[in-house]
């Protein structure tokens, strides 16, 4: 790949997947989260990513008043502390939380850049309305940010857990320019969900970093993963295994090095992403009509 004189070359972008067990209070999660971010920075991470709704350990109570009390506002110490820490460490931090919102809280990710600026805020669009997430307010759109890193700019997008199960989520993020997708998670990661992530990386030519809670957290089993988004690589005689990392079930910090320059070169000549799409022929994708066998009484528009 040709570069202009003086242009920074991003050989790799290191994401620390914080596969951690939550504590019992927001204050304890703040303390533990900051400690683990410091460890990630010492390991050379460019970005540290938390699993889904770290502020409350993905604890959703049906007591709406209590849930509103647990929610985090924009000026709360929980968020300010991670923004300040990102600036102190010179490392981006993707912190997840139950966000204070009207009429009901949201499941949200805020990405602070290495200067401590909030450059991306994303609320989960596909809430699990067949379960307790029906008590949350869904997000309205998908977000991509131009992340300033010490190695140069990088376009980063986000989706959260169940969003992964809809091809449209990653497709929209790719169309908005995302090169790497951040995916906080809180569910059992098994062969089919891992296959979804592999497919999203393959069909959009994007890197995907997913972080889950470890075993010990209810309904979670670790297996945080990273895929580099490249199905073929020069010099390799067969298709390339996109899997950069799959963690075990234990608690820990797991590092994924995304070969960004290779990915950018690959996207310039390969056939997926937006290279050969025919959106004018996809009109049915915008239809809102739902018919059997897909009618669900708890569906929310």
- Residues assigned a catalytic role: 52, 124, 161
Write phi, then psi, for 123 (nearest 5 degrees).
Answer: -105, 135
Calpha distance 117→90 (Å, rounded): 11
Task: In whole angstroms, give the CA distance from residue 45 to residue 53.
Answer: 21
Cβ atoms within 10 Å, residue 282: 9
In the chain, alpha helices (H):
26-42, 64-70, 77-89, 167-175, 191-204, 260-267
Instruction: Report whether 79 contacts 110 (CB < 8 A).
Output: yes
Strand order in the sheet with 152-158: 144-149, 152-158, 180-184, 207-211, 225-227, 243-246
Helices 77-89/26-42 angle, 10° precision:
10
CA atoms within 13 A on the CB side of 111: 28
From 95, 101, 23, select the one nearest 57 (Cα to Cα).
23
The three-class DSSP label of residue 75 is: coil
| Cβ-Cβ contacts under 8 Å for 50 (sequence gap 6 or more) | 18, 20, 33, 94, 95, 96, 184, 211
Q: Please provide residue 94's backbone torsions phi and psi, each rounded to the nearest 5 degrees.
A: -100, 100
Bridge partners (DSSP) listed for residue 97? 108
Q: Where are the beta strands (DSSP E) in 195-251?
A: 207-211, 225-227, 243-246
Residue carrying structure tokens 């993905």: 58
């Amino acid at each position: 790949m040709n570069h202009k004189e003086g242009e920074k070359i991003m050989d790799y972008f290191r994401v620390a997947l914080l596969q951690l067990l939550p504590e019992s209070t927001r204050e304890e999660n703040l303390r533990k989260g900051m400690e683990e971010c410091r460890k990630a920075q010492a390991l050379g991470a460019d970005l540290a990513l938390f699993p889904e709704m770290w502020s409350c350990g993905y604890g959703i109570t049906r007591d709406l008043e209590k849930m509103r009390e647990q929610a985090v506002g924009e000026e709360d110490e929980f968020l300010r502390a991670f923004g300040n820490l990102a600036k102190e460490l010179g490392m981006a931090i993707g912190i997840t939380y139950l966000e204070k919102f009207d009429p009901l809280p949201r499941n949200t990710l805020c990405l602070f850049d290495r200067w401590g600026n909030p450059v991306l805020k994303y609320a989960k669009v596909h809430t699990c309305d067949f379960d307790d997430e029906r008590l949350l307010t869904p997000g309205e759109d998908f977000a991509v940010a131009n992340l300033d890193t010490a190695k140069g700019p990088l376009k980063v997008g986000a989706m959260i857990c169940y969003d992964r199960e809809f091809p449209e989520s990653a497709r929209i993020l790719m169309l908005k320019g995302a090169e790497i997708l951040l995916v906080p998670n809180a569910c059992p990661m098994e062969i089919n969900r891992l296959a979804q992530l592999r497919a999203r990386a393959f069909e959009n030519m994007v890197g995907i970093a997913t972080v889950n809670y470890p075993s010990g957290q209810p309904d979670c089993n670790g297996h945080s993963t990273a895929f580099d988004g490249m199905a073929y690589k020069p010099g390799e005689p067969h298709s390339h295994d996109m899997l950069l990392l799959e963690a075990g079930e234990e608690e820990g910090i797991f590092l994924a090095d995304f070969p960004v320059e290779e990915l950018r070169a690959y996207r310039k000549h390969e056939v997926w992403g937006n290279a050969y799409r025919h959106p004018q022929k996809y009109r049915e994708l915008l239809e809102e009509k739902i018919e059997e066998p897909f009618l669900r009484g708890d569906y929310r528009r």
